[in-house]
Copies of this chain bind each other. A is one copy, B any other.
Amino acid sequence: MISYSLLKTSGKARRGKITTPHGEIETPVFMPVGTAGTVKSLTSNQIAETGSQIVLANTYHLYLRPGMDVIGKFGGIHHFMHWDKPILTDSGGFQVFSLSGGLTKVTDEGVLFKSHIDGSMHHISPEISMQIQHVLGSDIIMAFDEPIKDDAPYQYAIESSQRTIRWLDRCIKEWHTLDPERKQSLFGIVQGGIYRDLRLESIHKTLDANLEGIAIGGETIGYNKERTKEILDWILDEIPCNLPRYTMGVGDIDDIFEVVARGVDMFDCVSPTRLARNGALLISPAEGGNKKNKYRLGISKAEYAMQDIPIDRTCQCYTCTNYSRGYLCHLFRSHELLANTLASIHNVAMLAQVCEKIRGSIENDTFASLMKEWIG
């Protein structure tokens, strides 16, 4: 069971703390994604050294591979992936829709989908999602939902949003059966697409369930930046201040500031590790990072080959403390595996450091000026 304490606010930005069975999380917090039980290319020590406090693992991926028999044998994902800090799992909903190549059949019972690995057919229902996450043993679990696409027509959005609400009830029943001592905390997920009335209905119904946290989902969030802000403005004021709020799929630096400014506490994204593998390294305003260049530097470019300075001179990560832009440039141009590791360490650490700065600024009530410094 987790508990959330709100420690301080600066505008709507919230400085808080989440206590979990695997330790405390200072919020606002960015959560790197360990899709298949591994934050890609990083050892557990390296993840911890980036300053990351919690990782997200994907129910869909772990269910398909290695499968629940293996995870069960290992007593859960913490031991399996050697990570003794908090873990959050998603419900599988998002991947079922995004990775199935359109071959997904949704009924009220659940979702029939095709594995992206071997094409085999599988069925996940609210109950099955709870069962899988129970075996995974994560500290925070997510209700099974149907994320709605931005272009979903209103009529479909109504049906789907109401189905997600009905599924929440079934999730809660199953969770109570599986976990009578509430060792895992269940978050509901607000859906409703791009429609204000549906988002409001969804948040109210989700709040009625009296859970320990609220996630805000859907294709829009983190993807359509303007809509994300609009949706958050509609619903965040509805959420009592004692509940942690989590936007799913937010990882761009400007988006992190925007959601924190609206009162969000938690966010995750694959972007820091994915960008890292593509040689896109995050830089702060001190190194010329800004909204226009997405705070990124393309390290493979010839201009970096001779630079004997860190990726970002304000960064305290292992990579920036020990390696130069020139060396990283060489590793990427030579397609060396170490490139992925060093770049991922840096990008994940950068987001951890951004969050640390944000937390400090909320404590000092200078969040607005920090946000101005970073996103202008």
> How far apart are A247's CB and chain B's nearest CB, in angstroms?
27
Chain B residue with the shortest CB-CB distance to A319: B43
B333, A65: Cβ atoms under 8 Å? yes
Within 8 Å by CB of A73, from B36, B306, B334, lies B306
Contact with B along A51-77 (1 / 0, CB 8 A): 000000000000001100110011000
B38, A81: Cβ atoms under 8 Å? no
B337, A66: Cβ atoms under 8 Å? no
> Is A308 at the interface (CB under 8 A from chain B)?
yes
- Known A82-B323, A323-B82, A326-B80: A338·B70 in contact at CB below 8 Å: no
How far does the alpha carbon of A331 sit from the alpha carbon of B337 in the complex, in Å?
Answer: 15
> How far apart are A61's CB and chain B's nearest CB, in angstroms?
8
> How far apart are A347's CB and chain B's nearest CB, in angstroms?
14
Taking residues whose C-beta sits less than 8 angstroms from the other chain, chain A's interface range is: 35 or more
Residues in B whose Cβ lies below 8 Å from that of A82: 322-323, 327
Residues in B whose Cβ lies below 8 Å from that of A156: none
- 5 A-B contacts, Cβ less than 8 Å apart? A36-B336, A43-B338, A70-B326, A70-B330, A341-B341
How far does the alpha carbon of A36 sit from the alpha carbon of B322 in the complex, in Å?
Answer: 18
How far does the alpha carbon of A327 sit from the alpha carbon of B77 in the complex, in Å?
Answer: 10
- Known A318-B43, A340-B337: A38·B331 in contact at CB below 8 Å: yes
Within 8 Å by CB of A338, from B41, B66, B74, B333, lies B41
> Is A37 at the interface (CB under 8 A from chain B)?
yes
> Is A44 at the interface (CB under 8 A from chain B)?
yes
B42, A338: Cβ atoms under 8 Å? yes
Chain B residue with the shortest CB-CB distance to A67: B305
Contact with B along A317-358 (1 / 0, CB 8 A): 010001110110111011011101110000000000000000
Chain A positions 203-253 with a Cβ under 8 Å from a chain B Cβ:
none
A337, B305: Cβ atoms under 8 Å? no
B65, A330: Cβ atoms under 8 Å? yes
B43, A326: Cβ atoms under 8 Å? no
B80, A327: Cβ atoms under 8 Å? yes
Given contacts A36-B334, A36-B336, A73-B308, could you give 6 more A-B pairs where the C-beta distance is less than 8 Å?
A38-B338, A40-B336, A41-B337, A41-B338, A80-B326, A337-B337
> How far apart are A83's CB and chain B's nearest CB, in angstroms?
10
> Is A107 at the interface (CB under 8 A from chain B)?
no
How far does the alpha carbon of A221 sit from the alpha carbon of B95 in the complex, in Å?
Answer: 52
How far does the alpha carbon of A361 sit from the alpha carbon of B331 in the complex, in Å?
Answer: 39
> Is A120 at the interface (CB under 8 A from chain B)?
no
> Is A45 at the interface (CB under 8 A from chain B)?
yes
Within 8 Å by CB of A66, from B44, B318, B333, lies B333
How far does the alpha carbon of A82 sit from the alpha carbon of B326 in the complex, in Å?
Answer: 12
How far does the alpha carbon of A318 sit from the alpha carbon of B44 in the complex, in Å?
Answer: 11
Residues in B whose Cβ lies below 8 Å from that of A36: 330, 334, 336
B70, A306: Cβ atoms under 8 Å? yes
Chain B residue with the shortest CB-CB distance to A337: B41
A341, B43: Cβ atoms under 8 Å? yes
How far does the alpha carbon of A35 sit from the alpha carbon of B169 in the complex, in Å?
Answer: 58
Residues in B whose Cβ lies below 8 Å from that of A65: 330, 333-334
How far does the alpha carbon of A216 sit from the alpha carbon of B341 in the complex, in Å?
Answer: 35
> How far apart are A72's CB and chain B's nearest CB, in angstroms?
10
Q: Which of A37, A305, A324, A338 has the most CB of B within 10 A?
A: A338
How far does the alpha carbon of A228 sit from the alpha carbon of B165 in the complex, in Å?
Answer: 72
> How far apart are A246's CB and chain B's nearest CB, in angstroms?
26
How far does the alpha carbon of A329 sit from the alpha carbon of B65 in the complex, in Å?
Answer: 11
